[in-house]
């Protein structure tokens, strides 16, 4: 090679290792997410606000001895999952698709597997921060403690299935609609989940017909699974089955319909 | 490393490519061969199938039929091995508008073990002064230069450039052409899709023209322009009516006709039985001189690449 060889010519560079590429893209995901003020609002401010307000209003408190925070914590965690996996992931991916970012990364050494892994890891990191923050506030400020029969495995299963279901929905929107439509629809679904998904109002306080419909949808199913897991009361098997069904269905649908450009 | 295309060593071999979107067939059996070290321009009107062809070569799409080998690999099945060896410059940029050039280059550099230095690429692309500026605030030319810098991070064997000079001012266009010529001279294989036929005439070893999903012409720019009929084009100081045009044609060459080019007293002598020569020009000048008409411009010879291209794809096609 001579001194006059232009930059960009020579022995082709070798691709980085798979974990290194995932790490690089995950860091970029988190960096860009932190720059979106509306993201921080949906992912942190609103769930924390929901936890405090629902707890203060004693929404979900019952004669059976349940306190407001017993409903408020799983409800706010579910809201946080929806914000991270549906709203933030869906909107960010929709815009990346419209800007051609996905196409560029798909044609880079990273390819689609690294891209999907980085997005997944990005959501997991955000959710971990959300859960720690919400639980810490519930414990320190609201006097919450897990019920005697609390089941961490059930909580974990709920978080995984809920994340998969809402990420599937977010990617389905992002991969099939224009970015602006994804933005509008994801935000609308977030508000509907908050109002009618067993979060702001527990299912048993909704009109029976509405409760039956809401109960078959992922937001309420996620709240029910998390409630059962954190308090150790109630049977979550039906809600878990509903959540699993949505998770599988939405991921299959997203994988089938997703367009990278 | 040599700047000459290496005969027999094909960087791209595509045979019988077919692709259909719904009921619309966008590729109807396209063959394409690009030698290593060659710069090939892929031309065609919008909807000709250029983008689909390139996306199949890049591995973004699968052909319904036909075979593809890029750098000896199947892009659809061996994309993981192929992607690091290809540099893509996308027309739309493919960059998040909130990112800065430095961030994007550093991010993509981390996808390689031993990439080019992102700061050196920024410097070379003339982007150092805007390295910390958000992408959305860059000019069109700066965005294009960033696209080329991104494509070069991994020292690709094959560079795929989509409209590399679009949106650039003349000085930036010239600098980019020189950059591309230097890469080609250093042995990089380049596939160029563009509507800038000036770029093609200056840079391409070979041109491939697609139209309605079919390959309709291929050859070097000079071969393509030489394939058109020789022309005599001229601009006069005053307009000619139909009778005068007929009279002029009869005076210059029997059987020829004078076609109105449609603007500014420009005409073309068409239908010549033999290539125009000195007598043709002399006859034209004599006829005009007798009538006190000044020949303001006169051009004799082969068509330009743009004219030849329009002949091939039809003048109503948008180049």
Three-class secondary structure assignment of B151-172: HHCCCCCEEEEECCCCCCCHHH
Question: B270 with B186, same domain?
Answer: no
Question: In this predicted structure, what is the pLDDT of residue A59?
Answer: 74
Question: B13 with B57, same domain?
Answer: yes
Question: In this predicted structure, what is the pLDDT of residue A60?
Answer: 66
Query: Where in the sequence is the domain holding A116, given as residue range(s)?
Result: 18-257
Question: B117 with B31, same domain?
Answer: yes
Cβ separation of B112 and A10 shorter than 8 Å?
no
Question: B123 with B142, same domain?
Answer: yes
| Residue A98 included in any domain | yes
Residue A140 has pLDDT above 80, yes or no: yes
Nearest to B155 among A10, A99, A100 (CB): A10
Query: CA B218, CA A160: separation in Å to the nearest integer?
Result: 55
Query: CA B306, CA B319: separation in Å to the nearest integer?
Result: 8
Residue B5 has pLDDT above 60, yes or no: no
- Comparing alpha-carbon positions, the chain A residue that sits nearest to B87 is A108
| Residue A236 included in any domain | yes
Question: In this predicted structure, what is the pLDDT of residue B132?
Answer: 96
Residue A64 has pLDDT above 80, yes or no: no
Are the C-beta atoms of A15 and B111 separated by less than 8 Å? yes
Number of domains forming the structure of chain A: 1
Question: B69 with B176, same domain?
Answer: yes
Residue A32 has pLDDT above 60, yes or no: yes
| Residue A11 included in any domain | no
Exposure b/e, B194-218, CB count within 10 A at least 16 = b: bbbbebbbebbbbbbbbbbbebebb
| Residue B309 included in any domain | no
Nearest to A109 among B111, B116, B182 (CB): B111
Question: B113 with B243, same domain?
Answer: no
Which residues of A fall below an 8 Å CB-CB distance to B? 1, 5-17, 20-21, 24-25, 28, 32, 35, 95-96, 99-101, 103-111, 260-261
What's the mean pLDDT when you consider all of chain A?
91
Percent of chain A, pLDDT > 70? 96
Question: In this predicted structure, what is the pLDDT of residue A58?
Answer: 80
| Residue A194 included in any domain | yes
Residue B260 has pLDDT above 80, yes or no: yes
Q: What is the mean pLDDT of residues A54-82?
A: 84
For the ranges A116-125, A224-233, B307-316, the lowest mean pLDDT is seen at B307-316
pLDDT in tens, A188-240: 999 999 998 999 988 888 899 999 999 999 999 999 999 999 999 888 999 99
Percent of chain A, pLDDT > 90? 74
Question: B190 with B117, same domain?
Answer: yes
Question: B134 with B150, same domain?
Answer: yes
Question: B129 with B193, same domain?
Answer: yes
User: Where does chain A have alpha helices with state H?
Assistant: 18-35, 37-40, 46-56, 68-81, 89-99, 101-106, 111-140, 152-176, 179-196, 208-215, 218-231, 237-257
| Residue A91 included in any domain | yes
Per DSSP, B112 falls in state B
Length of chain B measured in residues: 319
What's the mean pLDDT when you consider all of chain B?
89
Question: B145 with B253, same domain?
Answer: no
Q: Which residues contact B292 (CB under 8 A, 6 or more apart)?
A: none
Quick one: pLDDT band at residue A72, thresholds 50, 70, 90? very high
Are the C-beta atoms of A20 and B110 separated by less than 8 Å? yes
Query: Where in the sequence is the domain holding B244, given as residue range(s)?
Result: 231-301
- The tokens for B126 are 């003339």
User: Of B226, B258, B279, which residue constitutes the final position of a domain?
Assistant: B226
Residue A66 has pLDDT above 90, yes or no: no
- How close, in Å, is residue B151 to chain A by CA atoms? 8
Quick one: pLDDT band at residue B226, thresholds 50, 70, 90? confident
| Residue A172 included in any domain | yes
Residue A2 has pLDDT above 50, yes or no: no
Question: In this predicted structure, what is the pLDDT of residue B227?
Answer: 60
User: Of B226, B250, B282, which residue constitutes the final position of a domain?
Assistant: B226
List residues bridging with B34 in a β-sheet. B12
Question: In this predicted structure, what is the pLDDT of residue B229?
Answer: 62
pLDDT in tens, B167-213: 888 888 888 999 999 999 999 999 999 888 888 988 999 999 999 99
Cβ separation of A8 and B156 shorter than 8 Å?
yes
Nearest to B85 among A12, A28, A96 (CB): A12
For the ranges A87-96, A108-117, B188-197, B222-231, the lowest mean pLDDT is seen at B222-231
Q: Considering only CB atoms, which chain A residues are within 8 Å of B182?
A: 6
| Residue B151 included in any domain | yes
Phi, psi of B35 (to 5 degrees): -80, 155
Q: Is A119 helix (H, G, I), strand (E, B) or coil?
A: helix
Cβ separation of A5 and B186 shorter than 8 Å?
yes
Q: What is the mean pLDDT of residues B132-150?
A: 94
pLDDT in tens, B261-301: 777 788 988 888 788 888 889 999 999 999 999 999 998 87
- How close, in Å, is residue B111 to chain A by CA atoms? 5
| Residue A74 included in any domain | yes
Number of domains forming the structure of chain B: 2
- Greater confidence (B308 vs B114) lies with B114
Separation of CA B183 from chain center = 16
Question: B165 with B255, same domain?
Answer: no
Read off the CATH number of the domain in which B129 is found: 3.40.50.300
| Residue A4 included in any domain | no
B92 in contact with chain A, both atoms CB, cutoff 8 A: yes
| Residue B204 included in any domain | yes
Question: B12 with B68, same domain?
Answer: yes
B188: burial class by Cβ within 10 Å (0-12, 13-18, 19+)?
buried
- Comparing alpha-carbon positions, the chain B residue that sits nearest to A3 is B186
- The tokens for B28 are 């109807």
- How close, in Å, is residue A23 to chain B by CA atoms? 9
Compute the radius of gyration of chain A from its Cα atoms: 20
User: Where does chain B have alpha helices with state H?
Assistant: 50-58, 79-82, 101-109, 118-124, 140-152, 170-185, 197-203, 221-226, 242-252, 278-290, 305-313
Per DSSP, B220 falls in state -
Query: CA A171, CA A165: separation in Å to the nearest integer?
Result: 10
């Amino acid at each position: 090679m001579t001194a006059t060889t232009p930059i960009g010519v020579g022995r082709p560079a070798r691709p980085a290792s798979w974990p290194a590429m995932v790490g690089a893209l995950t860091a970029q995901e988190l960096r860009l997410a932190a720059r979106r003020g509306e993201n921080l609002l949906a992912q942190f401010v609103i769930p924390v606000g929901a936890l405090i307000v629902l707890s203060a209003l004693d929404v979900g408190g019952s004669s059976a001895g349940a306190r407001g925070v017993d409903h408020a914590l799983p409800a706010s965690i579910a809201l946080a999952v929806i914000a991270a996996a549906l709203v933030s992931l869906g909107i960010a991916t929709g815009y990346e698709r419209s800007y051609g970012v996905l196409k560029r990364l798909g044609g880079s050494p990273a390819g689609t597997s690294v891209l999907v892994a980085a997005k997944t890891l990005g959501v997991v990191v955000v959710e971990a921060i959300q859960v720690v923050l919400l639980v810490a506030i519930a414990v320190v400020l609201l006097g919450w403690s897990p019920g005697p029969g609390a089941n961490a495995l059930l909580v974990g299963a709920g978080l995984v299935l809920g994340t998969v279901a809402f990420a599937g929905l977010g990617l389905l929107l992002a991969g099939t609609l224009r970015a602006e439509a994804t933005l509008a629809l994801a935000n609308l679904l977030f508000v509907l989940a908050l109002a009618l998904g067993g979060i702001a109002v527990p299912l048993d306080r909704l009109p029976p017909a509405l409760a039956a419909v809401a109960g078959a949808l992922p937001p309420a199913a996620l709240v029910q699974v998390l409630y059962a897991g954190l308090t150790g009361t109630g049977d979550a098997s039906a809600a878990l089955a509903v959540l699993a069904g949505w998770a599988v269905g939405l991921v299959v649908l997203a994988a089938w319909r997703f367009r990278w450009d | 490393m040599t700047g000459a295309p290496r005969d027999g060593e094909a960087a791209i071999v595509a045979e019988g490519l077919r692709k259909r979107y719904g009921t619309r067939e966008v590729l109807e059996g396209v063959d394409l061969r690009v030698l290593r070290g060659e710069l090939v321009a892929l031309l065609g009107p919008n909807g000709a199938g250029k983008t689909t062809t390139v996306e199949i070569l890049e591995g973004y799409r699968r052909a319904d039929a036909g075979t593809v080998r890029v750098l000896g690999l199947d892009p659809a099945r061996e994309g993981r091995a192929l992607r690091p060896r290809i540099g893509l410059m996308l027309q739309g940029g493919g960059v998040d508008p909130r990112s800065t050039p430095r961030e994007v280059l550093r991010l993509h550099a981390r996808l390689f073990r031993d990439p080019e230095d992102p700061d050196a690429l920024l410097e070379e692309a003339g982007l150092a002064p805007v390295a910390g500026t958000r992408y959305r605030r860059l000019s069109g030319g700066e965005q294009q230069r960033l696209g080329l810098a991104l494509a070069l991070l991994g020292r690709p064997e094959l560079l795929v450039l989509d409209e590399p000079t679009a949106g650039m001012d003349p000085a930036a266009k010239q600098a980019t052409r020189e950059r591309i010529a230097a890469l080609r001279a250093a042995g990089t294989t380049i596939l160029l899709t563009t509507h800038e036929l000036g770029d093609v005439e200056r840079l391409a070893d070979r041109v491939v023209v697609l139209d309605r999903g079919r390959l309709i012409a291929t050859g070097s720019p000079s071969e393509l322009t030489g394939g058109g009929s020789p022309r005599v084009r001229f601009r006069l100081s005053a307009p000619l009516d139909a009778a005068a045009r007929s009279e002029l044609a009869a005076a210059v060459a029997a059987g020829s006709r004078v076609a109105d080019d449609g603007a500014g007293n420009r005409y073309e002598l068409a239908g010549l039985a033999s290539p125009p020569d000195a007598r043709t020009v002399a006859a034209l000048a004599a006829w005009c001189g007798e009538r006190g008409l000044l020949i303001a411009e006169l051009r004799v010879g082969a068509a330009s690449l743009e004219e030849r291209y329009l002949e091939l794809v039809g003048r109503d096609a948008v180049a």
